[in-house]
Amino acid sequence: MELELIIQHQAKYIKELEQQNRELVARIIKLEEQLEKLLHQKNSNNSSIPPSKDENRPFKSKSLREKTGKKSGGQIGHKGTTLKMVSKADEILEYHPEFCNYCGKDLSDTSSELVEKRQIVDIPEIKTKVTEHLIFQKKCTCGHLTVSSCEVGLKNRITYGNNIESLTAYFSNRQYIAFKRLEEIFKDVFKANISEGGLHELLKRISKKALPVYKQIKERVEKSKCVGSDETGCKVNGYKQWIWTWQNDNLTFISLSKNRGISTINEIFPKGIKNAVLVHDCWKSHFNTNAQTHQICTAHLLRELNYLTELYNNPWSEEFIKMLKFALDHKKQLKPSDYYNPQPKTILLEKWLKGMIEKPINEKYKELVSFQKRMIKYRNYIFTFLYYPNVPPDNNGSERAIRNIKTKLKVSGQFKSDDSSKIYAVLRSITDTALKNKQNVFNALSVIANSS
């Protein structure tokens, strides 16, 4: 009887194993079909499809923004803006009743009582204004002819004024409008026929006036205590060049170069930026800059770690992310006076970092091993922001400056000449600096246009 029970149990177990085997075989066949499909599917490795279109591909530059659960649009408590009536209107139109709409009696001699105000905000007809300057001469009794001087310093018989000059700079550098459409705007809206060459000359004129301000921005950046730096490629008349930015909360300095190396930095800042903590990514040229110390952009590190986590699903990268996020939260809690005293959390983070970079990683995770080696090399620049109150943990300010440049290039495609690229660098530096100091950009450009 006991033997029969054992046989029955074994038969049932064999049946279950057979069923599992059939299921596994079916799953293997399905996976093989999917693999075969993927192997024959077009991707960036076997076709002209860009890498961004590859399926199931981890992204190195994936956004770090997390879902907040809030609805889009203005949040509760947000101070909005609305159209408000002004206390003093430019033009007033009065409406008095002429007769009684009940009995028809004439009311012209009856006094009126104001019951309501209504206002319309509009822009008057836009048209160019031509100012003619008449220059006279007088003959002295001695026979000498004296010609009056023109105060506005007109060199040509006819030229465009400073308002058109500043508008051209504003539309081109702040609003990213390409020359062809800018030409159309002046023709259709302002009734001014300005050619593409004329627009370039106007930009050239105002950028020349702006050079003292541009130089001053550079000098102030050079003396700053904290500076972020970044660079991006661009095309100038079909050739690859580089646009660089050095910036902080109050200043943005932009310059162009034909290379991405330290020689550019040494040429622009021969003495370096020796008083500053330089915030940047891991590009070698930035580390070679003469600066007080450095801060690696944690946003870059987090994006790369997210990519490595998706790629390898390794706990090491997940723990490094936790460590960086802990440091970012710690930064938010620090008061200005805390930076001058040892902080237990900062000490803990330094020990945590030491443990992370000494922890062995399997060599088969090549990109993860490479990341760890980089962290070993630059370990002294990972938590710099925890020792300086005004040093940010990321280089987002520089990336925003670069994003403006990229937007301009998306619209215009490229710079047509070295001249136009230098003009852009000067005017965009002033535009971004004005924005950071909450100044009206058009007003700032107008001041420069009228400066000489």
CATH of the domain at 276: 3.30.420
Residue 313 lies in a domain: yes
408 and 434 housed in the same domain:
yes
Asked if pLDDT for residue 278 goes beyond 90, the answer is yes
Quick one: pLDDT at residue 46?
47
Residue 367 lies in a domain: yes
Q: In angstroms, rounded to a whole number, what is the distance separating the alpha carbons of residues 189 and 406?
A: 28
290 and 304 housed in the same domain:
no
**Where among 386, 415, 437 does a domain terminate?**
386
Residue 243 lies in a domain: yes
**How do beta strands 273-280 and 226-236 pair?**
parallel
Q: In angstroms, rounded to a whole number, what is the distance separating the alpha carbons of residues 28 and 364?
A: 26
406 and 276 housed in the same domain:
yes
Quick one: pLDDT at residue 126?
84
Percent of the chain with pLDDT over 70: 90
Residue 414 lies in a domain: yes
Quick one: pLDDT at residue 422?
94
379 and 421 housed in the same domain:
no
SS3 per-residue string spanning 29-51 = HHHHHHHHHHHCCCCCCCCCCCH
224 and 334 housed in the same domain:
no
Residue 95 lies in a domain: no
Of the candidates 452, 447, 429, which has an alpha carbon nearest to the alpha carbon of residue 174? 429
Residue 356 lies in a domain: yes
Residue 192 lies in a domain: no
Quick check: 244 and 193 in contact, CB under 8 A? no
Q: In angstroms, rounded to a whole number, what is the distance separating the alpha carbons of residues 368 and 305?
A: 9
**Where among 386, 403, 435 does a domain terminate?**
386
CA 229 and chain centroid, separation: 13
Q: In angstroms, rounded to a whole number, what is the distance separating the alpha carbons of residues 253 and 401?
A: 9
**How do beta strands 226-236 and 239-247 pair?**
antiparallel
291 and 302 housed in the same domain:
no
Quick one: pLDDT at residue 292?
96
291 and 410 housed in the same domain:
yes
321 and 273 housed in the same domain:
no
Per-residue pLDDT tens digits for 21-59: 888 888 888 888 777 666 655 555 544 556 656 666 666
- Type and span of the H or E element at 366: helix 366-377
Q: Domain residues for 313?
A: 298-386
315 and 362 housed in the same domain:
yes
212 and 284 housed in the same domain:
yes
Q: In angstroms, rounded to a whole number, what is the distance separating the alpha carbons of residues 74 and 70?
A: 10
Return phi, psi of residue 342, to 5°: -60, 135
Mean pLDDT of the chain: 88
- What the block records as the tokens of 220 is 């102030």
287-314 burial: b if 16+ Cβ within 10 Å, else e: bebebeebbbbbbbbbbbbbbbbeebee
Domains held by the chain: number = 2
- Nearest 5°: CA angle at 214, between 212 and 215? 65
- Type and span of the H or E element at 255: strand 252-257
Quick one: pLDDT at residue 47?
45
**Where among 386, 418, 439 does a domain terminate?**
386
pTM: 0.79
Residue 9 lies in a domain: no
Of the listed ranges 21-35, 310-324, 371-385, the least confidently predicted one is 21-35
In terms of DSSP H, where are the helices of 158-289? 162-169, 179-188, 196-222, 262-268, 284-287
